[in-house]
C-alpha cells in the first residue's frame, strides 16, 4: 500500500471516529433528555420488557415505593407491596397477551392511594405487530381520594339530617288538610298547604335519592341476595305504575318471556327499584303508544329489557346516560326538575353492577323510542 493510500485510509478512519463520537454524544444527550423528561413527570413511570420485568423507572415512582423498597426492583417485589389489592406482574402479562390497556383506581399502598394504568408497547413496523414491552403509569391520588370521601360523607350526613324536618313538614301538611277542614275551606290557604305538601314530598324523594347514591358509592348498602322470579317483580312494578300510564293513555305490556326465564339471584328490593326507574323513565318520555317489559335467558344470565315508543335520544345524548344528575330526556339543557332528580339511571347502574350484572341503553331512535336492558345472574 502506498503512502498516499495509507494517508487517505487514516484520514477516513479519523472521519469515521469523529462521526461515531458525534453520534455517541448526540445519543447520550438524547438519552439524558429522555431521562430528565421522565424524572420531571409527577406521575410514576415503569417500563417493562416482554418477560415481563422492570427495565426503567423514574423518580416519582421510586418516591412512591421508597419507604418500602430500595435499590433495583422487580415486579415480584412491587407485587409484595400491593398484595392483596393487586398482582401487577399477572396484569402486565395479561395486558401483553391481550394487547389491551388496563386501568385500576384506588389501589392501596401503605398510606397512599394510587391509580395505575397499564399499556402494552407494540412494534408497529413488524409484520405481526408483536408486543415489545409495557408501560405502567402510577398516579398518587391520595389527597383527591380523601377529599372525595370527605365530600361523600358530608353529602350523606347532610341528606340524612334533611330528611327528618322534611318528613315533619309533610306530616303536618297532611294533618292540616285532614283535621282542619273548616280552615281549609279558604281556597288560598288550601292551595298553599297543597304546595307545601307536594314540595315536601318532592324534596324527600330528592333526599332519598341522594342517600341511595352516597350509600351505594360508599358500599354502605348491604345487598341481600335471594332467589326470585324477575317476572314477579316486573309484574308488580307494572301494576304500581298503571295509574301513571293510564293518565297518559299508555299501554303497559308484560312480554311473553317474563314468565319463562329462570329465577335470578339478587337483592329483590333493589332490583325492583331498577325496574321501577326504567319503566318510570319510559312513561315520563312517552306520550303515545306502549311500554313493554320482557326478559330472556342468556346462558347463566337473565336479560331484562324495557322498550318504549317515546321520544328517543340522539347519539350525542346517549353517550351521557347513566351519569350522576343526568336525565334521560332528549334535551340536556332543559332539565325537568319537577318530575325527576336525574339520579335514577345512575342508581340503577350502581345496583346492577353490585349484583354482578350489566345495564345499558340497547337502542334508541329519535321519535321512535328507546330500549334499555340489564342482566342478572341466574340463581
Looking at residue 31, what is its pLDDT?
A: 61
Indicate which CATH number applies to the domain containing 329: 3.30.565.10
Looking at residue 40, what is its pLDDT?
A: 74
Looking at residue 156, what is its pLDDT?
A: 76
Among 217, 242, 272, which residue terminates a domain? 217
Contacts for 200 with CB less than 8 Å, ≥ 6 apart: 166, 167, 169, 170, 173
Among 112, 140, 168, which residue terminates a domain? 140
Indicate which CATH number applies to the domain containing 153: 1.10.287
Query: 252 and 110, same structural domain?
Result: no
Query: 157 and 114, same structural domain?
Result: no
Q: What is the mean pLDDT of each run of 10 residues along the chain (379 residues)?
A: 76 78 69 66 87 86 64 79 85 91 87 90 74 90 83 77 87 89 88 90 84 78 89 93 91 91 93 93 91 93 94 83 64 45 83 92 90 93
Instruction: Give 221's Cβ-side CA count (13 Å radius).
Output: 20
- The pTM (predicted TM-score) of the whole model is 0.60
Query: 339 and 245, same structural domain?
Result: yes
Query: 107 and 165, same structural domain?
Result: no
Query: 45 and 26, same structural domain?
Result: no
Query: 208 and 324, same structural domain?
Result: no
Query: 292 and 251, same structural domain?
Result: yes
Closest CA to 52 of 121, 129, 133, 135: 133
Contact indicator for 351, 273 with CB cutoff of 8 Å: yes
Beta-carbon neighbour count of residue 50 at 10 Å? 15
Rounded CA-CA distance 326/245 in Å is 23
Looking at residue 101, what is its pLDDT?
A: 92
Rounded CA-CA distance 358/351 in Å is 10
Among 197, 217, 237, which residue terminates a domain? 217
Looking at residue 148, what is its pLDDT?
A: 80
Domain that holds residue 173: 145-217
Indicate which CATH number applies to the domain containing 94: 3.30.450.20
Helix/strand/coil for 82: helix
Domain count, the chain: 4
Query: 204 and 98, same structural domain?
Result: no
Amino acid at each position: 500500500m502506498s503512502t498516499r493510500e495509507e494517508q487517505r485510509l487514516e484520514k477516513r478512519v479519523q472521519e469515521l471516529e469523529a462521526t461515531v463520537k458525534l453520534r455517541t454524544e448526540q445519543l447520550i444527550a438524547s438519552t439524558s433528555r429522555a431521562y430528565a423528561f421522565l424524572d420531571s413527570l409527577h406521575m410514576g413511570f415503569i417500563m417493562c420488557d416482554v418477560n415481563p420485568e422492570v427495565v426503567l423507572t423514574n423518580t416519582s415512582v421510586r418516591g412512591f415505593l421508597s419507604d418500602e423498597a430500595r435499590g433495583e426492583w422487580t415486579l415480584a417485589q412491587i407485587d409484595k407491596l400491593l398484595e392483596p389489592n393487586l398482582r401487577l406482574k399477572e396484569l402486565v402479562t395479561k395486558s401483553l397477551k391481550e394487547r389491551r390497556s388496563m386501568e385500576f383506581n384506588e389501589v392501596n399502598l401503605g398510606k397512599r392511594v394510587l391509580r395505575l394504568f397499564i399499556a402494552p408497547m407494540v412494534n408497529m413496523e413488524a409484520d405481526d405487530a408483536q408486543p415489545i414491552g409495557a408501560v405502567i403509569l402510577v398516579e398518587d391520588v391520595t389527597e383527591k381520594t380523601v377529599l372525595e370521601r370527605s365530600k361523600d360523607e358530608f353529602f350523606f350526613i347532610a341528606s340524612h339530617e334533611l330528611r327528618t324536618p322534611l318528613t315533619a313538614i309533610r306530616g303536618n301538611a297532611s294533618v292540616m288538610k285532614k283535621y282542619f277542614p273548616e280552615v281549609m275551606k279558604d281556597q288560598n290557604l288550601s292551595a298553599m298547604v297543597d304546595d307545601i305538601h307536594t314540595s315536601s314530598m318532592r324534596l324527600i324523594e330528592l333526599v332519598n335519592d341522594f342517600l341511595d347514591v352516597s350509600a351505594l358509592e360508599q358500599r354502605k348498602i348491604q345487598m341481600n341476595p335471594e332467589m326470585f322470579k324477575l317476572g314477579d317483580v316486573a309484574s308488580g312494578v307494572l301494576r304500581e305504575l298503571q295509574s301513571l300510564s293510564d293518565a297518559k293513555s299508555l299501554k303497559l305490556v308484560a312480554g311473553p318471556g317474563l314468565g319463562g326465564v329462570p329465577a335470578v339471584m339478587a337483592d329483590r328490593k333493589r332490583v325492583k327499584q331498577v325496574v321501577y326507574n326504567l319503566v318510570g323513565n319510559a312513561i315520563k318520555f312517552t306520550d303515545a303508544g306502549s311500554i313493554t317489559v320482557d326478559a330472556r335467558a342468556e346462558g347463566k344470565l337473565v336479560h331484562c329489557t324495557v322498550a318504549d315508543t317515546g321520544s328517543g335520544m340522539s347519539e350525542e345524548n346517549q353517550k351521557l346516560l347513566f351519569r350522576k344528575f343526568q336525565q334521560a330526556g332528549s334535551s340536556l339543557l332543559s332539565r325537568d326538575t319537577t318530575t325527576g332528580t336525574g339520579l335514577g339511571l345512575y342508581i340503577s347502574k350502581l345496583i346492577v353492577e353490585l349484583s354482578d350484572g350489566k345495564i345499558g341503553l340497547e337502542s334508541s331512535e329519535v321519535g321512535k323510542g328507546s330500549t334499555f336492558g340489564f342482566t342478572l345472574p341466574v340463581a
